[in-house]
Structure 1
Amino acid sequence: MSGLSRRTLLGAATVPALPLAVAPVAPAAATPSPSSSMSPSGSRVPTARPSGLAALTWLGNAGWRIEGTRSVTLVDPYVTRFDTGLSRGAFVATTPLTVDEQAVARHCPRADRILVTHSHWDHVADVPAIAARTGATVFGTRTTGFVARAMGVSATRVVDVRGGEVLDFGDVVVEVVRSLHSRNAKHAILFPGTLTDVPAAPVSIADLPEGDTLSYVVGTPGGPRAYLSGASDADVRALSDLRPDVAAVPVAAADATHDYLPRLLETLDRPRTVVAVHWDDFDAPLGVGERPLDASMGQRLPRFVDEVKRVSPRSTVVVPRHLQRLPL
C-alpha cells in the first residue's frame, strides 16, 4: 500500500487548505462573558468553567483528557503522532510503530482509565505506553483488548466492552455506545477485520486492524455529558435518548456515508456544543500539526462548520486548538 494518497484511501478531492479557525455558530456578543474568551480571529469560544468535570482537553485527532474531581480519563490518546506519509499523499502502510516517551510523559502524566474507540494506530498506538506509565485500565472492543495485550498490557488491566454498558467510576460515568467506522470512496474500511486471540506483537500500522468501533458518553453523575467519537460514522439506532450537552464529531474525509452529519446531530438532539475533531495533521507533533491534515480537509472543515449551522443553528461549533481546554 505504499505510495497511496489520502485521496485514494478516503476518496477526497484536492483543494486549497484553509487556515485554522475557531468558529462559534451561535451569534457572539460584542463583549465576551466571563465563561468565554476571544480567538485570534475575534470569535468567542468557550473556556473552562466550574463543573463536576474540570475540563475536556483536546489531545489532537480524536484524543481527549477528561479531568474528574478524583480521576483522569483518557480517550484515544495519540500524542506520538509519527509520520506515515498520509498528509503528504504518500501513505506507507508498513510504517513502523514508534512511541515518543517524552510526549507521553508530558501530555499523559496521569490516567486512571483509557477508553479506546477502535484499534487503528492513530487511536491505540500510544495506549500501552500510557498504561505502563500510569497503571491505567484499558477499555475497548475485544480486538482492542487483544492488541493491548500483544503490546504488553496485562490482561488484568484490559476490559472488553461492546456497547450498552454504563460504567460508574464515582466521579465519572461512562456510557459505551456501539458505533461504526468511516468508509472511503469505495465504501471500504482501512485495515478492516477483527482479532480472535492475542496476536504477535504488532510491528507496523498495518498490524492494527479497525476491530469494530465504539463511541463513549462521558459525564458526571446527574451532570453534563459529552459524546466522544473516533470515526466519522455512527450507528444512529444506538444513539437514541443520549442527548449529550457536548458532541465531539470527526470531520468526514469522504462522502460515502449518506447524510452523516445531519443524521448524527438530529439523533443526538442537536447538542449545545459541537466540537470538530479528527481534522488535524496527526502525522506531525502537537502544535506543528495544528492544521488540516491535507488540502482536502482544508475545504471539508469549513463545510463541516456550515453544515452544523444549517442542521443545528442553536449549537455552538468549535474548531479547537491543540491542548485547548473546553468546558463540559
Structure 2
Amino acid sequence: MAASEASVEATFFGTSSVHVSDGTSGVLVDGFFSRPSLRRVAFGRIAPDLGRITSALSRARVRRLDGLLVAHSHYDHAMDAPEVVKHLGGKLFGSDSTLHVGRGSGLDEQAMTRIADGDEHTVGSFTVRVLGGLHSPGNRFPGVIEEPLVAPTRASSYRDGGCFSFLVSHPTGSMLIHPSANFVPNKFDGLDVDCLYLGIGALGAQSPRFQDDYWRHVVEATRPGLVVPIHWDNFFVALDQKLRPLPALLDKFARTKEFLGRKSAESGIPVRFQDAFEVIRPFVR
C-alpha cells in the first residue's frame, strides 16, 4: 500500500454529504448537518442549526475547507452550505440557485463560484470536474431559486436549480460523487474511477428496468474499485443517532439493498455502506 494512496480519506455524514481530504486540502460535498425533523419540514419553516453544524464538524475534526460543492439546491443539499463556508472558509461552488442561498445567508460574493456542466475547478490539491445530470424520479420541488433565499423558510422554497455530480481527482486517485439516483445515458462512459459514491435515494421504488439501466450507465460506465451508497438514510433524524433507512412509506430500502447485493455479486464490484463519521481510504484497494 503506497503511503500516497493512504493519504486521502473520505468521511460520510449521511445524505450525500462527503468530506474528502489529503491532510492538507479538503473538499466537502453538500455538507447537510441540521437535519430538521419531518414534522418541521412538512409543516414549519426550516433554517440552518448552527449548533448541529459545528458539533458535526468538530466531531469529524474538519477545521478548514478549500471548497464546498453543492449537488443541487434542495434544502438537504444546500441549506447548510453557506454557514459551513462561513465557519471553515473556502469557496461555495453551486448553481445560480445555490448562490442565491448563499446570498440570502449573507455570504460574500467572492466566496462563491457558479458552476455548470463541463466546468473544471482546481480546489486545493484536488481537481473537480462538474457533470450535469438529473434529479432522481419524483422530484417534489423542481425549478429555480430566483432571488436571495433567507431562512427560516419553507422547505419547498429550496428548488433544485439543476443537478450535478462531481468527479474529484487527486494525484493518487479519483472518485465520482453522484448524489441523485438518476442518469443521463452514456454521460459517464470512460471515466474509470477508483471509488464511486452512488446515490440510491428512491431507487427501490423504481422499476427493475430503471434499476438495471442505472447500474449500467453509472456503475458499469465508471468501473469503480468500490461503490459506497449515499442518500439512503433517514435525514429527518439527527446525526447524534445511528443512521437508519428512510421509512418504507418514503423509500424501499430493502429492495435497493437486494439489488445492490445482486449486482455486486454479478460484477465483482464491492459495495460498502459507510457509517456516519466513519473514515475510509477510497483509493486504497
Shift of 1:106: 2.7
Hey, what's the Cα distance between the residues in 2 that align with 1:140 and 1:271?
25
| Counterpart position of 2:27 | 73
For residues 263-296 of structure 1, the C-alpha deviation after alignment (integer angstroms, 9 at most, x for no partner) is 221221x211000111111111114251111134
Which residues of structure 2 form unaligned runs of 5+? 58-62
Instruction: Percent identity, please.
Output: 25
The CA deviation at 1:310 is 4.9
Amino acid at match of 1:323: F
Structure 1: which amino acid aligns with 2:255?
R
- The equivalent of 1:213 in structure 2 is 163
| One of 241, 249, 254 as aligned partner of 1:299 | 254
Residue 185 (structure 2) aligns with: 236
Q: Which has the higher contact order (CA 8 A, sep 6+)?
A: 1
CA contact (8 A) 1:93 1:206 kept: no
The within-5 A match list for 1:106-121 is 106-108=55-57, 109-121=63-75
Which of 245, 251, 261 is matched with 2:200 structurally?
251
**Residues 112 and 152 (structure 1), Cα distance of their counterparts in 2 relative to 1, 3 Å cut:** same
Is the contact made by 2:168 and 2:174 (CA closer than 8 Å) also made in structure 1?
A: yes
Based on CA coordinates, which of the two structures has the bigger radius of gyration? 1
Structure 2 equivalent of residue 24 of structure 1? none
Question: Which has the higher mean CA deviation after the structures are superposed, 194-203 or 248-257?
Answer: 194-203
Structure 1: gaps spanning 5 or more residues:
1-34, 36-48, 86-90
For 1:275, the equivalent position in structure 2 comes to 228
Contact 1:68–1:172 under 8 Å retained in 2 = no
Shift of 1:199: 4.7
Q: Deviations over 1:207-258 (max 9, x none)?
A: 100111001011213x311110221112233313211110011114131682
Query: Residues of 2 paired with 1:287 and 1:316: CA distance?
Result: 28
Asked if the contact 2:47–2:152 (Cα under 8 Å) also holds between the matched residues in 1, the reply is no
Work out which of the residue numbers 219, 230, 236 in structure 2 matches 1:265.
Answer: 219
Partners of 1:120 and 1:201 in 2: how far apart?
13
- When you count helix as a share of all residues, which structure comes out higher? 2
Are residues 1:64 and 2:64 paired? no
Alignment of 1:1-328 (within 5 A): 50-51=4-5, 53-85=7-39, 92-108=41-57, 109-184=63-138, 189-199=139-149, 203-221=153-171, 223-253=172-202, 254-255=205-206, 258=210, 259-268=213-222, 270-295=223-248, 296-310=251-265, 313-328=267-282
Report if aligned partners of 1:118, 1:210 keep a CA contact under 8 Å in 2: yes
- 1:134 Cα shift? 1.8
8 A Cα contact 2:128 2:166, kept in partner: yes
TM (norm. structure 2) is: 0.86
Distance 2:7 2:190 in 1: 22
* Larger mean Cα displacement after TM superposition, 75-84 or 162-171: 162-171
Q: Deviations over 1:101-149 (max 9, x none)?
A: 2221233342221000001111111112111112221001121112221
- Aligned-residue offset at 1:50: 5.0
Q: Does the CA contact (< 8 Å) of 1:150 and 1:202 recur in 2?
A: no
SS, match of residue 264 in structure 1: helix
Aligned-partner Cα distance in 2 for 1:265–1:327: 19
Corresponding residue SS for 1:217: strand
Matched AA of 1:206: S
Q: Take 2:189 and 2:87, find their aligned partners in 1: how far apart are those partners?
A: 37
CA drift of 1:197 comes to 4.1
- Counterparts of 1:166 and 1:52 in 2: how far apart (Å)? 25
Cα distance per residue 1:192-211 (max 9 Å; x no partner): 10134435556121110011
TM-score normalised according to structure 1 size: 0.75
